[in-house]
Protein backbone atom coordinates (compact mmCIF):
# COMPACT_ATOMS: atom_id res chain seq x y z
CA UNK A 1 0.00 0.00 0.00
CA UNK A 2 1.43 3.47 -0.86
CA UNK A 3 2.59 5.40 2.22
CA UNK A 4 1.51 9.02 2.87
CA UNK A 5 4.38 11.52 3.09
CA UNK A 6 3.20 14.75 4.63
CA UNK A 7 4.46 18.34 4.40
CA UNK A 8 3.24 20.84 7.02
CA UNK A 9 3.88 24.46 5.95
CA UNK A 10 3.76 26.99 8.81
CA UNK A 11 4.52 24.24 11.31
CA UNK A 12 5.83 26.57 14.04
CA UNK A 13 2.57 28.42 14.61
CA UNK A 14 -0.32 27.87 17.01
CA UNK A 15 -1.96 25.10 14.96
CA UNK A 16 1.15 23.75 13.25
CA UNK A 17 2.86 22.90 16.55
CA UNK A 18 -0.02 20.70 17.66
CA UNK A 19 -1.06 19.36 14.25
CA UNK A 20 2.50 18.27 13.34
CA UNK A 21 2.71 16.32 16.57
CA UNK A 22 -0.68 14.64 15.91
CA UNK A 23 0.33 13.78 12.32
CA UNK A 24 3.62 12.25 13.53
CA UNK A 25 1.66 10.08 15.93
CA UNK A 26 -0.59 8.83 13.12
CA UNK A 27 1.90 8.51 10.25
CA UNK A 28 5.24 8.11 12.06
CA UNK A 29 8.05 10.65 12.53
CA UNK A 30 9.76 9.70 9.25
CA UNK A 31 6.61 10.49 7.26
CA UNK A 32 6.04 14.08 8.39
CA UNK A 33 8.21 16.97 7.14
CA UNK A 34 7.67 20.29 8.92
CA UNK A 35 8.57 23.68 7.45
CA UNK A 36 8.35 27.35 8.37
CA UNK A 37 9.95 30.70 7.59
CA UNK A 38 11.12 30.70 11.23
CA UNK A 39 13.43 28.12 12.78
CA UNK A 40 11.82 25.36 14.86
CA UNK A 41 10.89 26.30 18.43
CA UNK A 42 11.58 22.81 19.76
CA UNK A 43 14.54 20.61 19.26
CA UNK A 44 13.59 19.15 15.88
CA UNK A 45 11.79 15.84 15.91
CA UNK A 46 11.99 14.45 12.38
CA UNK A 47 12.64 16.51 9.24
CA UNK A 48 12.44 20.31 9.21
CA UNK A 49 12.90 22.51 6.12
CA UNK A 50 13.25 26.29 6.39
CA UNK A 51 10.90 27.72 3.75
CA UNK A 52 9.45 31.08 2.80
CA UNK A 53 6.23 30.05 1.09
CA UNK A 54 6.75 32.83 -1.45
CA UNK A 55 9.74 30.87 -2.80
CA UNK A 56 7.88 28.52 -5.15
CA UNK A 57 11.08 26.94 -6.51
CA UNK A 58 12.27 25.94 -3.01
CA UNK A 59 8.81 24.55 -2.21
CA UNK A 60 8.94 22.46 -5.39
CA UNK A 61 12.42 21.20 -4.47
CA UNK A 62 11.22 20.15 -0.97
CA UNK A 63 8.15 18.36 -2.36
CA UNK A 64 10.29 16.39 -4.82
CA UNK A 65 13.12 15.71 -2.36
CA UNK A 66 10.78 14.16 0.25
CA UNK A 67 8.33 12.61 -2.26
CA UNK A 68 5.46 14.46 -0.57
CA UNK A 69 1.91 13.12 -1.12
CA UNK A 70 -0.12 15.43 1.18
CA UNK A 71 0.30 19.12 2.11
CA UNK A 72 -1.15 20.96 5.12
CA UNK A 73 -0.67 24.63 4.20
CA UNK A 74 -0.98 26.67 7.41
CA UNK A 75 1.39 29.61 6.72
CA UNK A 76 -0.48 32.92 6.75
CA UNK A 77 -0.71 36.34 8.39
CA UNK A 78 -3.77 36.49 10.65
CA UNK A 79 -6.44 39.16 11.07
CA UNK A 80 -4.87 41.67 13.48
CA UNK A 81 -1.37 41.51 11.97
CA UNK A 82 -3.04 41.59 8.56
CA UNK A 83 -4.67 44.98 9.16
CA UNK A 84 -1.27 46.40 10.08
CA UNK A 85 0.24 45.23 6.80
CA UNK A 86 -2.47 44.52 4.22
CA UNK A 87 -0.12 44.31 1.24
CA UNK A 88 2.14 41.71 2.85
CA UNK A 89 -0.95 39.81 3.99
CA UNK A 90 -2.28 39.66 0.44
CA UNK A 91 1.15 38.57 -0.78
CA UNK A 92 1.82 35.81 1.78
CA UNK A 93 -1.75 34.50 2.00
CA UNK A 94 -2.60 34.57 -1.72
CA UNK A 95 0.71 33.95 -3.48
CA UNK A 96 1.67 31.41 -0.81
CA UNK A 97 -1.53 29.44 -1.45
CA UNK A 98 -1.08 29.80 -5.21
CA UNK A 99 2.45 28.33 -4.95
CA UNK A 100 1.11 25.39 -2.93
CA UNK A 101 -1.75 24.66 -5.35
CA UNK A 102 0.55 24.91 -8.37
CA UNK A 103 3.16 22.53 -7.00
CA UNK A 104 0.41 20.18 -5.86
CA UNK A 105 -1.08 20.16 -9.36
CA UNK A 106 2.29 19.66 -11.05
CA UNK A 107 3.47 16.92 -8.68
CA UNK A 108 0.05 15.22 -8.52
CA UNK A 109 -0.22 15.57 -4.74
CA UNK A 110 -3.06 13.40 -3.35
CA UNK A 111 -4.57 15.94 -0.92
CA UNK A 112 -4.07 19.53 0.22
CA UNK A 113 -5.46 21.08 3.42
CA UNK A 114 -6.08 24.84 3.41
CA UNK A 115 -7.46 26.41 6.62
CA UNK A 116 -10.09 29.05 6.13
CA UNK A 117 -11.67 31.12 8.91
CA UNK A 118 -14.77 32.75 10.32
CA UNK A 119 -13.11 35.88 8.88
CA UNK A 120 -14.74 35.09 5.50
CA UNK A 121 -17.96 36.39 7.06
CA UNK A 122 -18.80 40.03 7.74
CA UNK A 123 -20.98 42.86 6.50
CA UNK A 124 -24.42 41.40 5.72
CA UNK A 125 -23.59 37.83 6.88
CA UNK A 126 -26.17 36.71 9.44
CA UNK A 127 -24.56 36.57 12.89
CA UNK A 128 -26.19 33.56 14.52
CA UNK A 129 -26.19 30.05 13.06
CA UNK A 130 -24.65 31.54 9.92
CA UNK A 131 -25.44 29.31 6.94
CA UNK A 132 -22.76 27.41 5.06
CA UNK A 133 -23.72 29.08 1.79
CA UNK A 134 -24.67 32.51 3.17
CA UNK A 135 -23.28 35.94 2.34
CA UNK A 136 -19.49 36.30 2.52
CA UNK A 137 -18.54 39.94 2.93
CA UNK A 138 -15.18 40.01 4.77
CA UNK A 139 -14.15 43.36 6.22
CA UNK A 140 -10.43 42.59 6.71
CA UNK A 141 -7.60 41.87 4.27
CA UNK A 142 -7.15 38.55 6.09
CA UNK A 143 -10.80 37.64 5.52
CA UNK A 144 -10.58 38.66 1.86
CA UNK A 145 -7.58 36.37 1.35
CA UNK A 146 -9.47 33.49 3.01
CA UNK A 147 -12.54 34.02 0.85
CA UNK A 148 -10.49 34.21 -2.38
CA UNK A 149 -8.43 31.25 -1.11
CA UNK A 150 -11.61 29.17 -0.82
CA UNK A 151 -12.56 30.07 -4.41
CA UNK A 152 -9.06 29.16 -5.58
CA UNK A 153 -9.22 25.81 -3.78
CA UNK A 154 -12.57 25.01 -5.42
CA UNK A 155 -11.21 26.13 -8.81
CA UNK A 156 -8.25 23.73 -8.56
CA UNK A 157 -10.61 20.89 -7.61
CA UNK A 158 -13.04 21.58 -10.47
CA UNK A 159 -10.43 22.40 -13.10
CA UNK A 160 -7.58 20.01 -12.26
CA UNK A 161 -9.15 17.42 -9.94
CA UNK A 162 -6.80 18.49 -7.12
CA UNK A 163 -8.33 17.25 -3.85
CA UNK A 164 -8.20 20.42 -1.71
CA UNK A 165 -10.08 20.33 1.60
CA UNK A 166 -10.83 23.23 3.91
CA UNK A 167 -12.40 24.21 7.24
CA UNK A 168 -13.57 27.63 8.43
CA UNK A 169 -11.98 27.48 11.88
CA UNK A 170 -13.42 29.64 14.65
CA UNK A 171 -10.96 31.19 17.15
CA UNK A 172 -8.75 28.38 18.48
CA UNK A 173 -7.73 27.97 22.11
CA UNK A 174 -4.65 25.95 23.04
CA UNK A 175 -2.29 25.47 25.96
CA UNK A 176 0.50 23.88 23.88
CA UNK A 177 1.19 26.92 21.71
CA UNK A 178 0.55 30.66 21.67
CA UNK A 179 -1.42 32.34 18.89
CA UNK A 180 0.21 34.79 16.48
CA UNK A 181 -1.53 38.03 15.52
CA UNK A 182 -5.22 37.15 15.55
CA UNK A 183 -8.32 38.85 16.97
CA UNK A 184 -9.39 35.80 18.97
CA UNK A 185 -5.97 35.63 20.71
CA UNK A 186 -7.41 37.24 23.86
CA UNK A 187 -9.10 33.94 24.67
CA UNK A 188 -5.69 32.23 24.91
CA UNK A 189 -3.71 35.07 26.50
CA UNK A 190 -6.28 35.42 29.30
CA UNK A 191 -5.53 31.87 30.54
CA UNK A 192 -1.78 32.45 30.64
CA UNK A 193 -2.25 35.60 32.75
CA UNK A 194 -4.80 33.90 35.03
CA UNK A 195 -2.53 30.95 35.77
CA UNK A 196 0.46 33.27 36.40
CA UNK A 197 -1.69 35.33 38.85
CA UNK A 198 -1.27 38.44 36.70
CA UNK A 199 -3.97 40.97 35.73
CA UNK A 200 -5.22 40.90 32.14
CA UNK A 201 -6.15 43.80 29.88
CA UNK A 202 -8.64 42.60 27.27
CA UNK A 203 -8.61 44.32 23.84
CA UNK A 204 -12.26 43.42 23.18
CA UNK A 205 -15.39 44.71 24.92
CA UNK A 206 -16.72 42.36 27.57
CA UNK A 207 -19.92 41.54 25.64
CA UNK A 208 -18.28 40.67 22.28
CA UNK A 209 -19.47 37.20 21.28
CA UNK A 210 -17.31 35.07 18.98
CA UNK A 211 -17.29 31.41 17.94
CA UNK A 212 -14.40 29.49 19.51
CA UNK A 213 -13.04 25.93 19.60
CA UNK A 214 -10.59 24.01 21.75
CA UNK A 215 -7.49 22.86 19.87
CA UNK A 216 -8.04 19.09 20.35
CA UNK A 217 -11.40 19.43 18.57
CA UNK A 218 -9.83 21.50 15.78
CA UNK A 219 -7.02 18.98 15.23
CA UNK A 220 -9.45 16.07 15.24
CA UNK A 221 -11.73 17.90 12.77
CA UNK A 222 -8.78 18.52 10.44
CA UNK A 223 -7.64 14.91 10.49
CA UNK A 224 -11.19 13.53 10.15
CA UNK A 225 -11.85 15.78 7.14
CA UNK A 226 -8.55 14.73 5.53
CA UNK A 227 -9.34 11.03 6.12
CA UNK A 228 -12.92 11.21 4.79
CA UNK A 229 -13.60 9.43 1.48
CA UNK A 230 -13.63 12.05 -1.27
CA UNK A 231 -17.03 10.86 -2.52
CA UNK A 232 -18.57 11.90 0.85
CA UNK A 233 -17.49 15.53 0.45
CA UNK A 234 -20.09 17.86 -1.03
CA UNK A 235 -17.66 20.78 -1.27
CA UNK A 236 -13.97 21.63 -1.65
CA UNK A 237 -14.07 25.02 0.03
CA UNK A 238 -14.38 25.90 3.72
CA UNK A 239 -16.71 23.76 5.83
CA UNK A 240 -18.37 25.65 8.70
CA UNK A 241 -17.64 23.95 12.03
CA UNK A 242 -18.97 25.13 15.37
CA UNK A 243 -18.19 24.21 18.99
CA UNK A 244 -18.92 27.10 21.40
CA UNK A 245 -19.84 30.81 21.45
CA UNK A 246 -18.88 33.10 24.32
CA UNK A 247 -17.94 36.66 25.27
CA UNK A 248 -14.92 37.77 27.37
CA UNK A 249 -17.14 38.26 30.43
CA UNK A 250 -18.57 34.72 30.10
CA UNK A 251 -15.06 33.31 29.74
CA UNK A 252 -13.96 35.24 32.82
CA UNK A 253 -16.92 33.90 34.83
CA UNK A 254 -15.84 30.34 33.95
CA UNK A 255 -12.17 31.03 34.82
CA UNK A 256 -13.31 32.54 38.16
CA UNK A 257 -14.64 29.10 39.16
CA UNK A 258 -10.98 27.99 39.41
CA UNK A 259 -9.14 31.28 40.00
CA UNK A 260 -11.57 33.64 41.79
CA UNK A 261 -8.98 36.39 42.44
CA UNK A 262 -8.16 36.91 38.75
CA UNK A 263 -8.70 40.54 37.57
CA UNK A 264 -9.56 41.68 34.03
CA UNK A 265 -9.93 45.21 32.65
CA UNK A 266 -11.30 46.10 29.21
CA UNK A 267 -9.43 48.39 26.80
CA UNK A 268 -10.92 47.77 23.35
CA UNK A 269 -8.64 48.68 20.41
CA UNK A 270 -8.81 48.28 16.60
CA UNK A 271 -9.41 44.53 17.05
CA UNK A 272 -12.86 45.31 18.48
CA UNK A 273 -14.01 46.42 15.00
CA UNK A 274 -12.65 43.21 13.47
CA UNK A 275 -14.44 41.07 16.07
CA UNK A 276 -17.67 43.05 15.64
CA UNK A 277 -17.62 42.28 11.91
CA UNK A 278 -17.48 38.51 12.46
CA UNK A 279 -20.28 36.04 13.14
CA UNK A 280 -21.10 34.47 16.52
CA UNK A 281 -22.06 30.91 15.58
CA UNK A 282 -22.22 28.81 12.42
CA UNK A 283 -24.55 26.21 10.98
CA UNK A 284 -22.20 23.27 10.55
CA UNK A 285 -24.73 20.66 9.42
CA UNK A 286 -22.83 20.02 6.14
CA UNK A 287 -19.68 19.02 8.09
CA UNK A 288 -21.79 16.82 10.41
CA UNK A 289 -23.49 15.08 7.46
CA UNK A 290 -20.50 14.77 5.11
CA UNK A 291 -17.72 13.64 7.46
CA UNK A 292 -19.29 13.23 10.89
CA UNK A 293 -18.04 16.41 12.59
CA UNK A 294 -18.95 16.49 16.30
CA UNK A 295 -17.36 18.75 18.92
CA UNK A 296 -16.30 17.32 22.30
CA UNK A 297 -15.44 20.46 24.29
CA UNK A 298 -17.86 23.15 25.42
CA UNK A 299 -16.83 26.27 27.39
CA UNK A 300 -16.81 24.52 30.78
CA UNK A 301 -14.84 21.46 29.60
CA UNK A 302 -12.35 23.61 27.68
CA UNK A 303 -11.67 25.91 30.69
CA UNK A 304 -11.16 22.97 33.04
CA UNK A 305 -8.68 21.32 30.66
CA UNK A 306 -6.82 24.57 29.79
CA UNK A 307 -6.32 25.56 33.41
CA UNK A 308 -5.29 22.10 34.49
CA UNK A 309 -2.71 21.80 31.67
CA UNK A 310 -1.29 25.31 32.15
CA UNK A 311 -0.98 24.67 35.89
CA UNK A 312 0.94 21.46 35.14
CA UNK A 313 3.25 23.39 32.77
CA UNK A 314 3.78 26.09 35.43
CA UNK A 315 4.43 23.50 38.10
CA UNK A 316 6.95 21.58 35.95
CA UNK A 317 8.68 24.81 34.88
CA UNK A 318 8.40 23.63 31.27
CA UNK A 319 7.99 25.81 28.21
CA UNK A 320 4.60 25.79 26.48
CA UNK A 321 6.48 24.92 23.33
CA UNK A 322 8.36 21.93 24.65
CA UNK A 323 6.92 19.25 22.44
CA UNK A 324 8.56 16.47 24.43
CA UNK A 325 5.93 17.12 27.12
CA UNK A 326 3.22 15.91 24.78
CA UNK A 327 4.91 12.77 23.46
P1 LIG B 1 0.29 31.35 13.42
O2 LIG B 1 0.47 32.80 13.07
O3 LIG B 1 0.41 30.92 14.82
O4 LIG B 1 1.28 30.48 12.54
C5 LIG B 1 1.54 30.75 11.19
C6 LIG B 1 2.93 30.21 10.86
O7 LIG B 1 3.20 30.55 9.50
C8 LIG B 1 4.03 30.83 11.74
O9 LIG B 1 4.82 29.83 12.33
C10 LIG B 1 4.83 31.68 10.77
O11 LIG B 1 6.21 31.72 11.06
C12 LIG B 1 4.56 30.95 9.43
N13 LIG B 1 4.73 31.85 8.29
C14 LIG B 1 4.34 33.14 8.18
N15 LIG B 1 4.73 33.62 7.00
C16 LIG B 1 5.36 32.62 6.34
C17 LIG B 1 5.99 32.50 5.07
N18 LIG B 1 6.08 33.55 4.25
N19 LIG B 1 6.52 31.31 4.73
C20 LIG B 1 6.46 30.25 5.57
N21 LIG B 1 5.91 30.31 6.79
C22 LIG B 1 5.36 31.48 7.17
O23 LIG B 1 -1.13 30.92 12.81
P24 LIG B 1 -2.03 29.67 13.25
O25 LIG B 1 -2.95 30.16 14.28
O26 LIG B 1 -1.21 28.48 13.50
O27 LIG B 1 -2.89 29.51 11.93
C28 LIG B 1 -2.55 28.58 10.92
C29 LIG B 1 -3.56 28.71 9.79
O30 LIG B 1 -4.87 28.49 10.31
C31 LIG B 1 -3.58 30.08 9.15
O32 LIG B 1 -3.81 29.93 7.77
C33 LIG B 1 -4.76 30.76 9.81
O34 LIG B 1 -5.33 31.71 8.94
C35 LIG B 1 -5.69 29.60 10.01
N36 LIG B 1 -6.66 29.86 11.11
C37 LIG B 1 -6.22 29.94 12.40
C38 LIG B 1 -7.14 30.20 13.41
C39 LIG B 1 -6.71 30.28 14.86
O40 LIG B 1 -7.54 30.64 15.71
N41 LIG B 1 -5.47 29.96 15.20
C42 LIG B 1 -8.49 30.38 13.10
C43 LIG B 1 -8.88 30.35 11.77
C44 LIG B 1 -7.95 30.06 10.77
C1 LIG C 1 -7.85 35.46 13.97
O2 LIG C 1 -8.33 35.94 15.01
O3 LIG C 1 -7.37 36.14 13.05
C4 LIG C 1 -7.91 33.96 13.78
C5 LIG C 1 -9.11 33.58 13.01
C6 LIG C 1 -10.40 33.43 13.67
O7 LIG C 1 -9.03 33.39 11.81
N8 LIG C 1 -7.87 33.35 15.07
Model confidence over 121-139: pLDDT tens digits? 999 999 999 999 999 999 9
Name the domain count of the chain: 1
Tell me what pLDDT residue 46 has: 84
Residue identifier of the C-alpha nearest atom 1 of ligand 2: 182
Predicted local distance difference test score (pLDDT) of residue 315: 85
Give a yes or no: residue 186 inside a domain.
yes
Band of the pLDDT at 319, cuts 50, 70, 90?
A: low
Mutate to test the pocket of ligand 2, among 75, 79, 168 (most ligand atoms within 8 A of CB): 79
Q: Which domain holds residue 280?
A: 6-326
Please state the pTM of the whole predicted model.
0.96
In the chain, % of residues over pLDDT 70: 95
Domain annotation covers residue 258:
yes
Q: Give residue 327's pLDDT.
A: 31
The region, left, alpha or beta by phi > 0 then psi within -120 to 50, assigned to residue 179 is beta
Nearest Cα residue to 119 out of 152, 92, 83: 83
Question: pLDDT higher for 3 or 322?
Answer: 3
> 157 in a domain, yes or no?
yes
CA atoms within a 13 Å half-sphere pointing along the CA-CB vector of 245? 18
Q: Which residues form the catalytic set? A: 142
**191 located within any domain:** yes
Q: Which of 16, 35, 73, 76 to mutate to test the pocket of ligand 1 (most atoms within 8 A of CB)?
A: 76
pLDDT of residue 316: 83
Residue 1 in domain: no
Report residues whose beta carbon is within 6 angstroms of any ligand 1 atom.
10, 12-16, 36-38, 51-54, 74-76, 78, 92, 96, 115, 117, 169, 171-172, 179-182, 184
What is the number of the ligand 2 atom nearest to the C-alpha of 82? 3
Q: What per-residue confidence (pLDDT) applies to 45?
A: 74
- Measured by CA distance, the residue closest to atom 6 of ligand 2 is 171
Distance in angstroms (rounded) separating the CA atoms of residues 261 and 270: 28
Site to substitute for ligand 2 among 78, 114, 243, most atoms within 8 A of C-beta: 78
Q: Which atom of ligand 2 is nearest to the CA of 142?
A: 3
3-state secondary structure of 240: strand
Residue 301 lies in a domain: yes
Render pLDDT for 20-67 as a digit per residue (tens, 0 to 9).
Answer: 999 999 999 999 999 999 998 766 678 999 999 999 999 999 999 999
Task: Tell me the per-residue pLDDT of 192-250, one tens digit each, with 9 for 90 and over.
Answer: 999 999 999 999 999 999 999 999 999 999 999 999 999 999 999 999 999 999 999 99
What pLDDT digit, counting tens, does each position of 284-301 carry? 999 999 999 999 999 999
Tell me, in angstroms, the distance from the centre of ligand 1 to residue 253's CA: 30
Task: Classify residue 130 by its DSSP letter.
Answer: B
Indicate the DSSP class of residue 44: P
Q: What is the Cα–Cα distance from 42 to 223, expressed in whole angstroms? A: 23
Check residues 314 and 72 and name the one with the higher pLDDT: 72
What pLDDT, on the 0 to 100 scale, is given for residue 43? 66
pLDDT per residue over 252-284, tens digit each? 999 999 999 999 999 999 999 999 999 999 999
Atom of ligand 1 nearest to the CA of 93: 32
CATH number of the domain at 286, please. 3.40.50.720
Amino acid sequence: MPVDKILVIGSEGQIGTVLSHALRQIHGIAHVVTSDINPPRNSVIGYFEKLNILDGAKLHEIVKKHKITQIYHLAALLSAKGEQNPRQTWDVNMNGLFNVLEVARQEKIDKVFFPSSIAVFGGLSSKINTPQHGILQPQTMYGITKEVGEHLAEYYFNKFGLDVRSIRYPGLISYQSLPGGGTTDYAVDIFHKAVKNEDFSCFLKKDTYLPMMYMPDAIRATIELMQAPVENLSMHYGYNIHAMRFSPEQLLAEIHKYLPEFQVSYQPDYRQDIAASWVESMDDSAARTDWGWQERFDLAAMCKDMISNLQKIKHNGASEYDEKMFL
